[in-house]
């Protein structure tokens, strides 16, 4: 008997199936409708709903891959093997840098250039994210690796050090580094608990795999502003080691450019980079940062109640940048421009005022040297948008400038100034010395026409963005993030009449003043090109990008919060509390919150006071605010109190929330304040819990909190 093929159904069987499958009631029709809806929804995925974000790839691209276009036509063929790169470029020394703010990167370029000039040794600078970390093991013994690594936050490595960091921490990684000879220098701040942790951890890992250190690790400490001098001292020791151990011969220091900066009047304005950060934003579009874009300013307002100090609340509008999305606790970076007075003075002292808009092309004279500035451009754009011309000049640069002095007197002045560490420190205490001011002081009646533009491009650091904690909630204000910026104006220590103006904050103040009234000047007379390059900003926008942060609210709204802030450190907590209030309004349970906030005086710089009081009332007992005023006049005297003092006053409650309620603790503000707060919290924990200070119980408990993200810090300086 032959059976039917699997794909054939007899008429009788088909009739029976039809009877069974025919809907006979409301329940059947409802079920069929539901199945149809589910099927339609599934099939329409990616077409009608759940469409991929067309800009999502920007968050995951490697910065070094996006930079390929700026590095030259063959950049996409660059090897990621550092040993191979050294061989191809015929270099004996590689200076690796891991940098978050640009300081370590600047040191690396300075060091590589000086090694080449002093010792005629081929030297390559290397962004750690540009090379596979495992290729370090292939560097031959005949070559030398130098690591310059910064530490930030809670002992964290910079973004571009992440691959090396992860590779060194892999348990299965047993690669031998016995061929590697190295030296290392770290950048840190002793106000932070994990001072220079990154360089220490990396050196320990290198040594553990057999690498040979040729000299002790150098460490810079920015707590007292000594980073530049610490680097110079370590560099001197490094060069002494070169001569004593490696047999390098030191020659006469003569400037040999690695870049050519040449005028090219055949270029049209459309060919130039006028200051737009488009060519630079590739280096920012990493997994943590968005690209740089012009962002509209929605409104600004002054937060301080006094006329001689300023704090800005600035709200931005992301409507024109759909690829920008932020989460509560993230950072927003502002790209500033230099003030007109510094730009004009530098153009004048170099004799370039009349040729400020002449096109210049920047080309590398060494295949291993990357051009870090957008090209082609103009001298005016270089000094206004692309180079840090307002930073204090270090002694290395003072001595380097002497060779280009227009008069013997100017040369002698610079040499005398730069050769004495103590004398130069005293000089800086009396005078704020930017590059243009120094050149003008050395030769007040002469133009520095012999100073090559290439030297300045090689020596000055590229301008960096400044990061601000976003002070709005992404739940309440998803397209209008706000920042809170205190305007930095610091008197010179021994000359209070002379002021040092923070670059970005004063730029924002000028923008805010202009928006309120175009005739309203900056309080100190500073002016800026507020319209931006090619009028791209029109006094209504800023160049900005977003950076993701780990400083986040807990996932559960009923987790208690302890928030500790001083000054503008209040910014993210304004967002946290506002978001908690919104959760409460939609019927969600929220946990107990206590905010410790410190400032000078309640009637001067207690920012967001009315908002906080309204939130406190609306939250109905869920928010407690403890304030500390460091210059509060009461009963004929000044009572100084800081947030760490309030921690002690409220010690029982703080410990109860941490231990019994499993609260999250957050600190935002200066690193020195955060360090003192941790000491006081530790002291109160030991008192209440009966722990002996120094026996390790508090340290282990605190370490566990931080590991579980129950203790988070967003600190600076």
The residues that bridge with 499 in the sheet, in sequence order, are 491
695 band by pLDDT with thresholds 50, 70 and 90: confident
Q: What is the pLDDT of residues 247-256, one digit of tens each?
A: 999 988 788 8
pLDDT of residue 21: 54
Percent of the chain with pLDDT over 70: 87
Alpha-carbon distance 646 to 564, whole Å?
A: 10
Q: Is 11 exposed, middle or buried (0-12, 13-18, 19+ CB in 10 A)?
A: exposed
Q: How far is CA 226 from its chain centroid? A: 20
Residue 366 predicted with pLDDT over 60: yes
Q: Give the contacts of 402 (CB within 8 A, at least 6 positions apart).
A: 410, 411, 414, 415, 418
Q: How confident is the model at residue 5 (pLDDT cuts 50, 70, 90)?
A: very low
Instruction: In whole angstroms, give the CA distance from residue 38 to residue 274.
Output: 54
Q: Which two three-digit tokens encode residue 530?
A: 């507020």
Tokens of 49: 């709903």
pLDDT at position 22 over 70: no
Q: Are 542 and 335 in contact (CB under 8 A)?
A: yes
The answer to whether residues 291 and 545 touch, using CB atoms and an 8 Å cutoff, is yes
The CA-based angle 674-678-680, given to 5 degrees, is 115
Collapsed DSSP state (helix, strand, coil) of residue 187: strand
- Residue with the bigger pLDDT between 160 and 225: it is 160
Q: What is the pLDDT of residue 281?
A: 44
Domain with CATH 3.40.50.80 in the chain: 561-715
Other C-beta atoms lying within 10 Å of the C-beta of residue 270? 7
Q: Cα 591 to the chain's mean position, in Å?
A: 32
Please write the tens of the pLDDT for every residue from 505-562.
999 999 999 998 888 889 999 999 999 999 999 989 999 999 999 999 999 999 999 9
**Neighbouring C-beta atoms of residue 317, cutoff 10 Å:** 16
Q: How many CB atoms lie within 10 A of CB 287?
A: 13
Query: ∠6-7-13 over CA atoms, to 5°?
Result: 85
> Which of 154, 108, 103, 113 shows the shortest CA–CA distance to 127?
108
Q: How far apart are CA 298 and CA 316, in angstroms?
A: 5
Give me the residue label for tokens 């001083």.
566
Average pLDDT in the 646-670 region?
Answer: 97
What's the pLDDT at 78?
77
CATH superfamily of 340-459: NADPH-cytochrome p450 Reductase; Chain A, domain 3 (1.20.990.10)
The average pLDDT across 631-650 equals 84
CATH 3.40.50.360 domain position(s) in the chain:
82-246
82-246: in CATH 3.40.50.360: yes
- The pLDDT > 90 percentage for the chain reads 74
Q: Which of 147, 163, 179, 140 is nearest to 80 (CA)?
A: 163
Q: How far apart are CA 99 and CA 550, in angstroms?
A: 19
β strands within 515-639, DSSP E: 541-547, 561-566, 593-599, 623-629, 632-634, 637-639
Do the beta carbons of residue 128 and residue 164 sit within 8 Å? Answer: yes
Q: Which residues pair with 665 in a beta bridge?
A: 562, 711
Q: Which residues touch 592 (CB under 8 Å, ≥6 apart)?
A: 560, 561, 622, 624, 657, 661, 663
pLDDT at 110: 92
What are the angstrom distances between the C-alpha of 396 and each of 47, 105, 228, 326, 447? 60, 16, 9, 41, 21
What CATH class does 561-715 carry? alpha beta
What's the CA gap between 102 and 311, in Å, rounded?
26
Q: Tokens 């069929």 belong to which residue?
A: 32
Residue whose pair of structure tokens reads 């840090």 in the numeric block: 388
pLDDT of residue 518: 86
Eight-state DSSP code of residue 470: B
Q: In what order do the strands lie in the sheet with 259-263?
A: 259-263, 359-364, 377-378
Q: What is the DSSP letter of 203?
A: H
Q: How many residues does the chain have?
A: 717
Mean pLDDT of 62-72: 35
Whether 161 and 198 have beta carbons less than 8 Å apart is answered as yes
Q: Please determine, for residue 223, whether its predicted confidence score (pLDDT) is greater than 70.
A: yes
What stretch(es) of the chain map to CATH 2.40.30.10?
293-336+465-547
Question: What mean pLDDT do residues 360-379 have?
Answer: 91
pLDDT of amino acid 370: 85
Q: Is residue 670 within a helix (H) or strand (E), and if so which, with residue range?
A: strand 664-670
CA 66 to chain centre: 19
**How far is 692 from 699, CA to CA, in rounded Å?**
11
- With a cut of 60, say whether residue 413 has pLDDT above it: yes
Give the integer Cα–Cα distance in Å for 509 and 313: 10
Pick the range with the lowest mean pLDDT from 4-18, 346-360, 571-585: 4-18
Mean pLDDT for the stretch of residues 192-214 = 93
Residue 247: the pLDDT is: 95
Judged against a pLDDT cut of 70, whether residue 8 lies above it is answered with no
Strand pairing class (664-670; 637-639) = unpaired
Please state, in angstroms and rounded to a whole number, the distance separating the CA atoms of residues 610 and 625: 12
Q: Does domain 293-336+465-547 have CATH number 1.10.260.40?
A: no
Decide if pLDDT at 175 tops 90.
Answer: no
pLDDT at 6 over 60: no
DSSP-based helix, strand, coil % in the chain, nearest 5: 40, 20, 40
Verify cis geometry, omega within 30 degrees of 0, for the bond prior to 127: no
- Please list the residue range(s) of the chain that carry CATH number 1.20.990.10: 340-459
Tell me which residue of 356, 438, 369, 428 sits closest to 404, measured CA to CA: 438
Q: Label residue 279 by pLDDT band (50, 70, 90).
A: very low
Which pLDDT band holds residue 625 (cuts at 50, 70, 90)?
very high
pLDDT at 584: 97
Strand, helix or coil for residue 183: strand
Range 85-100 average pLDDT: 94
18 CB-side CA count, 13 A: 7
Predicted pLDDT of residue 55: 39
Across 62-81, average pLDDT: 48
Query: pLDDT at position 25, please?
Result: 65
Among 605-619, 627-641, 670-684, the least confident range: 627-641
Nearest to 414 by CA among 435, 429, 430: 435
Q: Per-residue confidence at 60, pLDDT binned at 50, 70, 90? A: very low
State how beta strands 377-378 and 359-364 pair: antiparallel
Nearest to 615 by CA among 585, 645, 641: 585
pLDDT at residue 285 greater than cutoff 80: no
What is the per-residue pLDDT across 428-472, written as a single tens digit (0 to 9) for each?
A: 999 999 999 999 999 999 999 999 999 999 999 999 999 999 999
């Amino acid at each position: 008997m032959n059976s039917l093929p699997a794909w054939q159904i007899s008429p009788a069987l088909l009739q029976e199936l039809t009877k069974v499958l025919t809907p006979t009631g409301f329940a059947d029709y409802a079920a069929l409708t539901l199945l149809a809806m589910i099927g339609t929804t599934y099939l329409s995925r990616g077409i009608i709903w759940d469409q991929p974000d067309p800009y999502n790839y920007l968050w995951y691209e490697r910065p070094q891959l996006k930079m390929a276009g700026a590095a030259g036509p063959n950049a996409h063929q660059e090897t990621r093997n550092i040993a191979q790169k050294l061989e191809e470029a015929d270099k004996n020394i590689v200076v690796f840098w891991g940098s978050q703010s640009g300081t370590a990167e600047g040191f690396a370029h300075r060091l590589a250039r000086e090694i080449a000039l002093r010792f005629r040794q081929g030297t390559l600078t290397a962004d750690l994210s540009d090379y596979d970390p495992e290729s370090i093991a292939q560097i031959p013994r005949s070559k030398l690796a130098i690591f310059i690594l910064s530490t930030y936050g809670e002992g964290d490595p910079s973004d571009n050090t992440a691959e090396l960091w992860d590779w060194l921490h892999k348990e299965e990684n047993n690669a031998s580094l016995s061929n590697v000879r190295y030296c290392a220098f770290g950048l840190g701040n002793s106000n932070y608990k994990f001072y220079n942790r990154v360089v220490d951890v990396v050196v320990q890992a290198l040594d553990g795999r057999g690498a040979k250190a040729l000299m002790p690790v150098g460490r810079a400490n920015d707590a007292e502003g000594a980073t530049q001098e610490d680097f110079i001292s370590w560099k001197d020791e490094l060069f002494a080691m070169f001569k004593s151990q490696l047999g390098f011969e030191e020659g006469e220091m003569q400037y040999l450019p690695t870049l050519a900066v040449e005028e090219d009047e055949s270029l049209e304005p459309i060919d130039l980079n006028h200051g737009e950060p488009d060519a630079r934003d590739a280096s920012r579009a990493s997994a943590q940062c968005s690209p740089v874009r012009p962002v509209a300013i929605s409104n600004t307002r002054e937060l301080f109640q006094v006329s001689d100090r300023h704090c800005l609340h600035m709200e931005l509008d992301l409507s024109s940048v759909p690829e920008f999305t932020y989460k509560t606790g993230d950072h927003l970076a502002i790209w500033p421009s230099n003030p007109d007075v510094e730009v004009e003075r530098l153009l004048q002292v170099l004799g370039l005022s009349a040729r400020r808009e002449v096109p210049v092309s920047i080309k590398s004279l060494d295949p291993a040297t990357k051009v870090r500035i957008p090209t082609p451009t103009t001298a005016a754009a270089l000094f206004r948008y692309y180079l840090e011309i307002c930073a204090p000049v270090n002694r290395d640069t003072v001595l380097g400038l002497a060779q280009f002095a227009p008069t013997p007197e100017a040369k002698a002045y610079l040499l005398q100034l730069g050769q004495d560490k103590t004398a130069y420190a005293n000089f800086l205490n009396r005078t704020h010395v930017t590059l243009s001011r120094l050149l003008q002081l050395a030769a007040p009646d002469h133009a520095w026409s012999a100073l090559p533009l290439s030297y300045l491009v090689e020596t000055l650091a590229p301008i960096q963005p400044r990061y601000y904690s976003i002070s709005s909630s992404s739940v309440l204000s998803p397209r209008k993030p706000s920042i809170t910026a205190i305007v930095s104006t610091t008197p010179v220590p021994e000359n209070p009449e002379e002021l040092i103006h923070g670059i970005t904050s004063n730029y924002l103040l000028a923008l805010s003043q202009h928006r309120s009234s175009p005739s309203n000047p900056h309080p100190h007379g500073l002016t800026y090109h507020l319209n931006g390059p090619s009028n791209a900003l029109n006094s209504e926008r800023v160049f900005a990008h977003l950076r993701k942060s780990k400083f986040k609210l807990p996932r559960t709204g009923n987790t208690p919060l302890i928030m500790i802030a001083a000054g503008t450190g209040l910014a993210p907590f304004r967002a946290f509390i506002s978001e908690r209030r919104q959760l409460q309004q939609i019927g969600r349970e929220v946990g107990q919150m206590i905010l410790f906030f410190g400032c000078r005086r309640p009637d001067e710089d207690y920012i967001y006071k009315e908002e906080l009081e309204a939130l406190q009332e609306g939250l109905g007992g869920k928010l407690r605010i403890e304030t500390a005023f460091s210059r509060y006049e009461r009963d004929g005297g000044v009572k100084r109190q800081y947030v760490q003092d309030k921690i002690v006053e409220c010690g029982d409650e703080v410990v109860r929330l941490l231990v019994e309620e499993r609260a999250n603790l957050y600190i935002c503000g200066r690193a020195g304040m955060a360090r003192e707060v941790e000491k006081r919290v530790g002291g109160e924990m030991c008192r209440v819990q009966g722990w002996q200070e120094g026996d390790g119980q508090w340290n282990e408990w605190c370490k566990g909190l931080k590991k579980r993200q129950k203790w988070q810090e967003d600190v600076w300086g």
